[in-house]
């Protein structure tokens, strides 16, 4: 049986005595910035080196070939949208990613047909792009796919070909000068999906929600993840914490240990919800949390991350196609406040409210001081002093943070927040109710 590390011998004796101030989180607000030149539904969207790109998309029943880009300003807003080299043909429901100075557009629907084309173009230093070229086509035509660039490979998941939905997962290596090598198949998803969210974080690939078509669209709240191997293939798909509700048409982005999902729809409703899920040990998503809603409902929009900001672009709702662009600082959305309140030189604070809790998720607030990034750990110990779980183990700058923790069962536990300079411990009693 594996031994569990014991609670540090000096743990209880070295606590910082203090009356904790409130560590409540003020969620960030969504801001408006430069709208698209024209509304777009199911465009491709990505960010690269301080620019945001939008490719194709539907308007007035037509898939367009427009490519627009805007520079990210220091405050997170976007500059004027400029026109770049148009796609070779109109596309919607396609994938769009950037990788090492190249922009890629995969599959989609255009000119009345489902497509397997893959185009790429060089991104110039001023944000514009060069001519589009064709590289290795997908093994089959698909739209409603997930497209993810990770390490040296491009991944395409699921999708629809006009007849049926698929579980397929394909991957191809990035070659020299932007080309792709041959596509290969790897571990298929547990079930068919289209218009799902997809992204990668560290060495894991994620697929969230999506739908299949019957008499009506059937949306799902499943979240799957699979480890990415060094040769580009992926391991078996595992199920982790479900979304709070079923969704499709929602983009999924990853940033600094969080998955970020915005908007989406079911068969009859559009949503403005924003959820973030903390990625824990071995790729598991610990818990989904709601944060500041978008100003309006939307689905089929683009979303991307650049320089700590999350962007939501275009889409559609009951009012029609959208050209609006919203953005928010990610650390405020996920419960981090960049400037902590006065800590009276205590370096940190830790708060569980209340200190006697039930078996449901409990919010843990903590706060770090100091001017530099430092290692921070938050460990859970049982009543005997054995380490039960590591909840946080990462480098952080000063700020306010929170996570949610679901107790494994009734009993007495101790939460210990540690940095190289200080430590603090709180007792938590789980009542079992």
* Domains recognised in the chain with CATH numbers: 12-25+338-430 (2.60.40.1930), 31-333 (2.120.10.80)
Tell me the C-alpha to C-alpha distance, in Å, between residue 209 and each of 239, 256, 305, 405: 12, 21, 20, 23
pLDDT single digits (tens) 286-327: 888 888 899 999 999 999 999 999 999 999 999 999 999 999
Supply the pLDDT for residue 262: 98
Q: How far apart are CA 308 and CA 75, in angstroms?
A: 10
If phi > 0 it is left, if psi is from -120 to 50 it is alpha, else beta; for residue 205 that is: beta
What burial class does residue 321 get, using C-beta atoms within 10 Å of its C-beta: 0-12 exposed, 13-18 middle, 19+ buried? buried
pLDDT single digits (tens) 97-149: 999 999 999 999 999 999 999 999 999 999 999 999 999 999 999 999 999 99
Residues 245 and 237 sit within 8 Å (Cβ to Cβ):
no
Supply the pLDDT for residue 360: 64
Beta bridge partners of 150: 153
Q: pLDDT at residue 337 above 70? A: no
- Give the DSSP letter of residue 76: S
163: how many CB neighbours lie within 10 A of its CB? 6
Cis peptide before 53 (omega within 30 of 0): no
For the segment 23-31, the average pLDDT, to the nearest whole number, is 53
Alpha-carbon radius of gyration of the chain: 23
pLDDT band at 24 (very low <50, low <70, confident <90, very high): very low
């Amino acid at each position: 049986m594996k031994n569990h590390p014991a609670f540090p011998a000096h743990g209880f004796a070295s606590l910082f005595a203090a009356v904790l101030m409130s560590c409540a989180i003020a969620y960030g607000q969504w801001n408006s910035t430069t709208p698209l030149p024209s509304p777009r539904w199911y465009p491709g969207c990505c960010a690269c080196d301080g620019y945001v790109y939008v490719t194709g998309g539907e308007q007035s029943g037509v898939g367009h070939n427009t490519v627009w880009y805007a520079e990210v300003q220091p405050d997170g807003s976007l500059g004027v949208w400029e026109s770049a080299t148009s796609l070779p043909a109109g596309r919607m429901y396609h994938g769009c990613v950037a990788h090492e100075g190249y922009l890629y557009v995969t599959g989609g629907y255009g000119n009345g047909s489902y497509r397997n084309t893959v185009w790429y173009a060089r991104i110039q230093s001023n944000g514009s792009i060069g001519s589009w070229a064709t590289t290795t086509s997908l093994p089959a035509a698909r739209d409603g796919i997930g497209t993810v660039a990770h390490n040296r490979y491009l991944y395409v998941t699921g999708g629809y070909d006009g007849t049926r939905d698929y579980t397929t997962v394909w991957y191809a290596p990035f070659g020299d000068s932007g080309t792709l090598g041959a596509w290969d198949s790897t571990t298929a998803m547990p079930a068919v999906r289209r218009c799902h969210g997809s992204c990668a974080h560290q060495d894991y690939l994620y697929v969230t929600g999506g739908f299949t078509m019957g008499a009506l669209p059937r949306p799902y709240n499943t979240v799957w993840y699979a480890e990415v191997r060094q040769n580009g293939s992926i391991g078996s798909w595992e199920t982790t914490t479900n979304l709070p509700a079923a969704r499709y048409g929602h983009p999924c982005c990853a940033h600094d240990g969080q998955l970020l999902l915005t908007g989406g729809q079911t068969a009859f409703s559009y949503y403005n919800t924003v959820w973030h899920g903390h990625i824990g040990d071995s790729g598991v998503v610990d818990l989904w949390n709601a944060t500041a809603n978008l100003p309006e409902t939307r689905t089929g929009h683009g979303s991307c991350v650049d320089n700590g900001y999350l962007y939501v672009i275009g889409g559609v709702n009951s009012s029609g196609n959208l050209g609006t662009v919203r953005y928010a600082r990610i650390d405020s959305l996920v419960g981090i406040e960049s400037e902590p309140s006065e800590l009276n030189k205590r370096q940190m604070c830790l708060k569980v409210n209340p200190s006697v809790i039930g078996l449901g998720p409990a919010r843990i607030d903590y706060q770090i001081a100091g001017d530099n990034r430092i290692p921070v750990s938050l460990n859970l110990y049982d009543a005997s002093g054995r380490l039960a779980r590591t909840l946080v183990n990462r480098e952080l700058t000063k700020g306010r943070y929170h996570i949610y923790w679901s107790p494994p069962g009734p009993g007495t536990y101790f939460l210990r927040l540690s940095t190289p300079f200080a430590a603090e411990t709180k007792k938590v009693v789980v009542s079992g109710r």
